[in-house]
Amino acid sequence: MSSAGCCEPNHLARAARGTDVYYGIDFSGAARPATDIWIASARPTDDGLRIERCASAGERFGVTDRAAVLTALRTWLVERDGVAGLDFSFGLPRVLVPRDARGSWSSFLRWFAAAFADSDGKAMQTDLKERARASDTDDVELKRETDGPTGASSPYSFITRYQTLHGVRDVLAPLVLGERVGVEPMAPSEIGPTLCEIYPAATLRALGLPDERYKGGTHENERARREEIVAGLRAWGVTMDDGLADRLIAETGGDALDSVVGTVAVARAVANGFQPESARYDPLEGCIYA
DNA sequence: GGAAATGGCTGACGGAATTC
DNA sequence: GAATTCCGTCAGCCATTTCC
């Protein structure tokens, strides 16, 4: 296999020698996200990365409603040692943020949590679209600097609006403003675990693996792509039990697989010292690690 | 009644087709 | 050949429908 992105296979192992556990969290803003949020944990080995566990939020926490799941997730996160990657936007395009909230990423979090305290995903999207139309830009669904190179959607598209709202308002803001976690590269801290933004599709692309049409259970080729991804991850030095591999392939939503890919993204980010991969990175908007 | 499946929503993007 | 237009695809979530 040719080298893609930053890593050789054993680079994943070099990433975190002597460090703790990596977590990949496939996030969801659904009303009942117990079966949509998946959490994978992995440890670096001499040869790569060993996936230790992969389970849905429902299995981990035993609750189903959004508020209960996100509360449990926050509690669970602050009790971790290590690095956790979450796949939702950690910020918004700079032009949409009020000038008096642009001083720092923490200022943005404070503004966001207050501005959308009582909003649902649709209301937040409507507000941000109006801000975009009122700006000097031509488009309505604006992207952050980090979104372009990674192929990510706008943080408030109809696809991502719920993830961004609940991820930033209900997970990041309370944890960061409460100084319970650090976030790379905007707000590193010695206290608590380190969080970072990931985007599994970009990681798959960087590894030269199928990065689309692997979610779903209606077409046989979707399952075949999941099989190809699992085989490809193993070729990159990711090890796991056959039972877990079978589960990643069988889970038609692709969320379990995304969480495992997320651990790889975290390993790559650690290996690079959390250096932003693109020069086009705005510390107010966030940074995707692929 | 509860679980599972299905359709629809919206905008961006890439590739193909068409026009000049 | 270049520019423009058109069309299909993709994403996550919710509401509705279907099935057991």
Distance A230 CA to B15 C1' (A): 29
pLDDT band (50, 70, 90) for residue A143: confident
* A28 Cβ contacts chain C strand, under 7 Å: yes
Q: Tell me: the pLDDT tens digits for A1-28?
A: 333 344 444 455 544 444 589 999 999 8
Exposed e or buried b for every residue in A221-244, given b needs 16+ CB within 10 A? ebbebbbebbebbeebbbebeeeb
A168 DSSP assignment: I
Determine if strand B comes within 7 Å of the CB of A250.
Answer: no
Is the minimum distance from the CB of A210 to strand C below 7 Å? no
Q: Is the pLDDT of residue A221 over 90?
A: no
DSSP-based three-state secondary structure for A203:
helix
Domain limits of chain A?
A: 11-289
**Please, which positions of strand B sit below 7 A from a protein CB?**
6, 9-13
Tell me, what DSSP letter sits at residue A101? G
* Confidence tier at A234 by pLDDT (50, 70, 90): very high
The pTM (predicted TM-score) of the whole model is: 0.91
- Tell if A139 CB is < 7 Å from nucleic strand B: yes
Query: In this structure, which amino acid lies at residue A168?
Result: V
The helix or strand, by DSSP H or E, that contains position A15, with its residue range, turns out to be helix A11-15
Answer for A89: CB within 7 Å of strand C.
no
pLDDT in tens, A250-279: 887 888 899 999 999 999 999 999 998 776
Asked if residue A161 keeps its beta carbon closer than 7 A to nucleic acid strand B, the reply is: no
Which is it for strands A288-289 and A194-198: parallel, antiparallel or unpaired?
A: parallel
- What angle do the packed helices A242-250 and A255-271 form, to 10 degrees? 120
- Give me the pLDDT at residue A1, please: 34
Residues 185-244 of A with CB within 7 A of strand B: 218
Among A34, A105, A42, A83, CA closest to A281 = A105
DSSP A182: E
Distance between the alpha carbon (CA) of A151 and the C1' atom of B13, Å = 10
